[in-house]
Every structure is written in C-alpha cells, then in structure tokens.
C-alpha cells in the first residue's frame, strides 16, 4: 500500500511537471489599450471558443498562459484573443477609405490554409528578442514583447499587426518570394558613423513599400500578386496598412487608446523600416 | 488482470499512462474561464452607451483625481467622441494643476504602460497650454536611452521613447507659437531619431495647412537626404480615398526613387503541412 502511494505520488508529480510551461513573459497586468478593448466585450465566451479554433491554438502551447484562465487579461492567451477580436470585428470596411478589409486581415491572421498562406498554428515563444516569427512550415509564434504590459507593442493593435506581419512571411513562402536574409527581411549596411542603413531604412530588417492607393485591391484580394512591384506587399507594409485601418477606419466602438497606439506604431514603422521609404503616415496630425 | 495491478511496476505504468493521456486530452480541449460573459458585445455596448466626458478641473489633489478619471474615460472613448474630448481638454488649458497632474502621470506611465503614456501625452499636447510647453520641450530634448538589445533590428527602448517624443513634437507644433515652433525646428534638424524628425515635419506642415511657406520654413532645417518628408502624404481619419490617392500619385511622381524593384524569387515554392481548416464563421457581434 505504501509503495503504491509513493509510486502514485511520483507519477502525479511527473505528470504535473510535464504539463507546466516555465514562461519568462511578464504576467503582472495589461496595458490600458488592452484593458479598454477588453471592456468592450467583457470576456465574451462564445468568441474565444471560436477564436482558439480559428487560430488553431491548443493547451499544450498556451498552458499556464491563460488557457485555463481565459478571462484573466493579465495572461498571454487572453491578450492574444483580445487582439484577434480587434481583427474579427474592429474594422469599418469602407470601400472608399480602407486600404483592405476584414476579409483580408482575418484570412491573413487566422490559421486555415487559403490564398493567403498555408495552414499554420499560433504558438507563443519565451523570447524577449523578437516580437514574433514565422517558423516554417506551419508555426506562427508571438513573443513576450507583445505581452509584457510595459512593452511598447503590448497592445491589441500592435499584437494583431504582428499577426499580419508574421503571416505575410507565410504568404512569401507560399508564393516563393525571398524577402531577405535578416529574419525574412533585408539586412542594413553598417556605416562608419555607427548607424546601420539600407536606403531610407534605419533598422536591421528592411522591406520595400509597394505603394498602392485606396480601393486598388477589392476586399479579400490582398493576397494577389503578379510577380512585379505593381501588385505586391511586404510584411511591414501589410502591418502598416492594417494599423492605419485600425487608426482611421475603426468601428465606432474601438477605444481611443487602441487607435492612438495603432497610428503611432504605423508611423514609426513607416519612417524607419522601408528601403524606398518613407511610407505614408496616418492618423490625425493633431495630438488628440 | 487484478493480479497484475498488485505489481508496483505495472501499477505505476498504468497510472502514468492514464494521467498523461488525461492531461493531454484536457489540454486539447478548448480554453476554460471563470467569469466569462455570455452577452454579445452589441448588447453590452447598447446597455453601456458611451459616457459623457468628465470635466478636467480642480486644483491640488482634486486636479490629480480629475486627471485620473479623465484618462480612464479618454482611453475608452469612441471615434464619435473625439470632438467632445477636444472641447474638454481645451477648457483645461489655463489650469496649471491639471497640466502638472498630467505630466506626473506621463512620467509615471513611461516605463510601465506605453499606451497610457501616449494617451496622456496626446491630451497634454491637445491642451495647447503655455503651461505644458516646458514639459513637452523637456521630453523632446531628453536624449534617447542608451543603445541596448535589439529586437528585430530595432532598439525597443529607443523606439518606445521616440514615439513619445514624436507625440511631444506634435503637441508643440499644435501649440504653434514662436517658442514651440522653435522646438519643432530643433527636432527636425537635430533629433537623433528619424521617427521624431519625421513626426515633427508632418505636424508642422499639417498645422500650417501644408502651405508652400511652411515647406520653405522647414526646408532650412530638414537634414540632407530627408527632404522627401516634406512631400509625403498623410491619410487622416475619414479621408476619402480619391483625395488620398491624388496625393499619393503626386508623391510617387515627384519621387521616382520610391519605385520598388521587382520582388526576388525564392528557391522554390514550398507547400505547408496541411492541418485544421476550421472555417466556421465567428459568432454574431
């Protein structure tokens, strides 16, 4: 009896250990932008029970990150689905004013295979050195700088913007494009003055901006490309266009804290990440 | 069979298998939560319509409380409440206690919640208050944090602060007097971050109706190689596509260097592994 009890205890301990994820992301709270968006749905169960399937997420990857505590907005999984909620419902889809529509941004962010990318799984990585990554063939990782409450991009718009960015690496792979050797971007060149630039890009990880006007892609057609610069998107460009649509073409309930951060993120990227930049800006020129 | 379970080894193996299978199955189930809502957001929003803006008033502790209440309201405010907020903010311009309470909140939020710091700085800039000028100037002139670890090729601490400094530049440009514009010109010429220089140019131009005169004023300060910022278009909230498209076309016409080369092909198309193709529609909002 005593042996059985000891063995049972050991088995239980092993099982518990096997299910624990030792995370390094900070789980102490949520940014005001996350909280403001959260309050618009109040932890809507029907949505997150749809979302985890649409984004192909599972408890193995998200254990101890809110998978079993999906209404705790301090944790990573609730923050992930909060950002997904913005993608699913937060855009106005104005043919005359939006760069792209919900059909595009949902297809880019969600897991299922489509013209936008082959199927992938949304996972989390304990890494403070990247915002996210697309690891072929089918892993879309987001990382701590999108979840730590004090981090610049720990807000729903920037997190969802990263879904677009990483998924576009999947689009590149599907259509056989090479966007560069620096994490899927082009590396900058080190200058004697200590800066690192490539054309107008001032960070190490540069893209081209394939400029297009409003209404040049019907909603649902963002994936289209013709092999030339005339009809093409880069990962940072898709991210900027999404962030601009959150800032300027949101649903009437999208909170100001989310829109402000979206515009700030878009404009910072637009100024610094494009070789043939700068890209355009968006958001009000007034401080508020 | 019963005899087998009297062996500790068999018991242990069976127990291990059972627990592991159970835990794996549990983790393949959907997420769990306590306190979840079954109310559709459309109903929730109908039950809780946007609240009117609180006043930004008071002195001392009352001013501090007023600022905290206003920040809570402002963060959650909707696009339709933008003008209402602007009226409330402008009404507080002559209250130094409100300005001081806001600046304290910005300083406090800078390292703990970037979205809140940006929100508070937006309000301070929108206030167009002479009392805000010294703080906006001090934020703009503060050196960027020392270079640190890069994330995807950028220094996140420097980018975070540059975004706030860009907002400070936008507040100074909106204040739009000789002293504040001098700060904007300083940033255009001297700021270490391209993000801040770009925002200073945008804000100055837009606050001067993109006039030729404003462009010429800026041209004296713009760095060599950054003249293109004088021409780039902005798409504002609610702007019609045809208006933006005309400006974008003019930008591309004036700057042939913006034309991207043809994209590079990869080493061969690669197929994914396949997987769940869950395509159910999301629940009705």
User: Is A12 in the B-facing interface, judged by CB distances under 8 Å?
Assistant: yes
Q: Are A253 and A216 in contact (CB under 8 A)?
A: no
Residues in a beta bridge with A186: A206
Average pLDDT over residues A257-263: 98
pLDDT digits (tens, 9 = 90+) for B108-126: 999 999 999 999 999 999 9
| pTM (two decimals) | 0.92
Alpha-helical (H) ranges within B142-284 are 156-175, 178-190, 194-207, 212-219, 241-254
Q: Is residue B15 very low, low, confident or very high in pLDDT (cuts 50, 70, 90)? A: low
Q: Is residue A5 very low, low, confident or very high in pLDDT (cuts 50, 70, 90)? A: low
pLDDT digits (tens, 9 = 90+) for B84-109: 999 999 999 999 999 999 999 999 99
Buried b / exposed e over A183-222, threshold 16 CB at 10 Å, is bbbbbbeeeeeeebbbebbbbbbbbbbbbbbbbebeebeb
Q: Is residue A15 very low, low, confident or very high in pLDDT (cuts 50, 70, 90)? A: very low
Instruction: Compute the mean pLDDT over every residue in chain B, rounded to the nearest whole number.
Output: 91
Q: What pLDDT sits at residue B12? A: 59
Residue A1 has pLDDT above 60, yes or no: no
A275 to chain B: which residues are within 8 Å by CB?
260
The C-alpha atoms of residue A163 and residue A101 are separated, in whole angstroms, by 15
A43 to chain B: which residues are within 8 Å by CB?
33, 35-37
Q: Is residue B18 very low, low, confident or very high in pLDDT (cuts 50, 70, 90)? A: low
The C-alpha atoms of residue B159 and residue B157 are separated, in whole angstroms, by 5
Nearest CA-CA distance, residue B44 and chain A, Å: 7
Q: Is residue B239 very low, low, confident or very high in pLDDT (cuts 50, 70, 90)? A: confident
Are the beta carbons of A260 and B12 separated by less than 8 Å? no
Alpha-helical (H) ranges within chain A are 2-19, 32-41, 45-54, 59-62, 76-89, 102-109, 156-174, 235-248, 256-272
A100 to chain B: which residues are within 8 Å by CB?
none
Q: Name which of A26, A31, A32, A80 to mutate to probe chain B: the one with the most chain B Cβ atoms within 10 A of its Cβ.
A: A32
pLDDT digits (tens, 9 = 90+) for A231-247: 999 999 999 999 999 99
User: Is A149 in the B-facing interface, judged by CB distances under 8 Å?
Assistant: yes
Q: What pLDDT sits at residue B276? A: 79
Q: What pLDDT sits at residue A16? A: 46
Look up the ipTM and state it: 0.91
Q: Is residue A6 very low, low, confident or very high in pLDDT (cuts 50, 70, 90)? A: low
The C-alpha atoms of residue A172 and residue B266 are separated, in whole angstroms, by 9
DSSP state of A112: S
Residue among A11, A276, A282 minimizing CB distance to B16:
A11
Positive/negative CA dihedral, B181, B254, A205, A217: positive
């Amino acid at each position: 009896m005593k042996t059985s009890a000891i063995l049972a205890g050991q088995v239980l301990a092993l099982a518990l250990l096997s299910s624990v994820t030792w995370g390094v992301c900070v789980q102490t709270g949520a940014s005001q932008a996350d909280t403001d968006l959260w309050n618009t749905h109040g932890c809507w169960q029907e949505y997150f029970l749809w979302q985890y399937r649409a984004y192909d997420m599972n408890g193995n990857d998200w254990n101890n990150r809110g998978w079993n505590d999906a209404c705790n907005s301090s944790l990573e999984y609730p923050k992930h689905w909060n950002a997904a909620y913005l993608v699913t419902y937060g855009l106005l889809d104005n043919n005359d004013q939006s760069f792209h529509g919900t059909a595009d941004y949902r297809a880019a962010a969600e897991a299922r295979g489509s013209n936008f990318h082959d199927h992938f799984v949304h996972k989390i990585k304990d890494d403070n050195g990247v915002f996210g990554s697309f690891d072929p063939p089918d892993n879309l990782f987001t990382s701590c700088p999108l979840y730590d409450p004090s981090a610049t991009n720990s807000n729903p718009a920037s997190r969802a913007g990263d879904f677009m960015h990483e998924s576009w690496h999947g689009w590149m792979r599907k259509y056989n494009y090479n966007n560069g050797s620096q994490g899927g971007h082009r590396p900058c060149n080190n200058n004697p003055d200590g800066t690192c630039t490539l054309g107008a890009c001032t960070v190490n990880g540069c893209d081209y901006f394939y400029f297009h006007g409003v209404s040049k892609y019907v909603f649902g057609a963002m994936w289209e490309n013709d092999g030339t610069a005339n009809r093409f998107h880069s990962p940072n460009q898709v991210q900027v266009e999404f962030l601009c649509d959150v800032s300027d073409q949101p649903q009437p309930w999208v909170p100001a804290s989310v829109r402000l951060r979206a515009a700030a993120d878009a404009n910072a990227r637009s100024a610094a990440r494009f070789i043939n930049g700068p890209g355009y800006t968006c958001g009000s020129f007034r401080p508020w | 069979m019963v005899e087998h379970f009297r062996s500790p080894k068999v018991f242990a193996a069976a127990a291990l298998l059972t627990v592991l299978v159970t835990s794996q199955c549990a983790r393949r189930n959907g997420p769990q939560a306590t306190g979840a809502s079954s109310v559709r957001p459309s109903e929730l929003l109908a039950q809780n319509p946007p609240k009117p803006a609180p006043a930004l008033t008071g002195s001392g502790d009352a001013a501090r409380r007023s600022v905290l209440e206003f920040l809570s309201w402002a963060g959650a405010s909707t696009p339709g409440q933008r003008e209402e907020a602007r009226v409330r903010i402008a009404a507080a311009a002559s209250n130094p206690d409100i300005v001081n309470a806001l600046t304290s909140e910005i300083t406090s939020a800078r390292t703990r919640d970037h979205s809140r710091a940006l929100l508070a700085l937006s309000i301070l800039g929108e206030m167009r208050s002479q009392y805000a000028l010294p703080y906006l100037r001090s934020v703009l002139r503060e050196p960027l944090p020392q270079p640190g670890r890069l994330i995807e090729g950028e220094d996140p601490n420097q980018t975070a602060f540059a975004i706030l400094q860009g907002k400070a530049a936008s507040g100074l440009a909106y204040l739009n007097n000789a002293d504040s514009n001098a700060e904007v010109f300083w940033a255009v010429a001297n700021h270490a971050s391209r993000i801040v220089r770009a925002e200073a140019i945008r804000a100055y131009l837009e606050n001067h109706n993109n006039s030729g005169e404003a462009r010429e004023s800026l041209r004296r300060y713009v760095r060599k190689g950054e003249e293109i910022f004088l021409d780039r278009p902005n798409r504002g909230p609610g702007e019609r596509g045809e208006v933006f498209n005309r400006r974008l076309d003019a930008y591309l016409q004036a700057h042939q260097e913006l034309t991207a080369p043809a994209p590079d092909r990869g080493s061969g198309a690669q197929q994914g592994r396949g997987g769940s193709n869950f395509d159910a529609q999301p629940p009705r909002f």
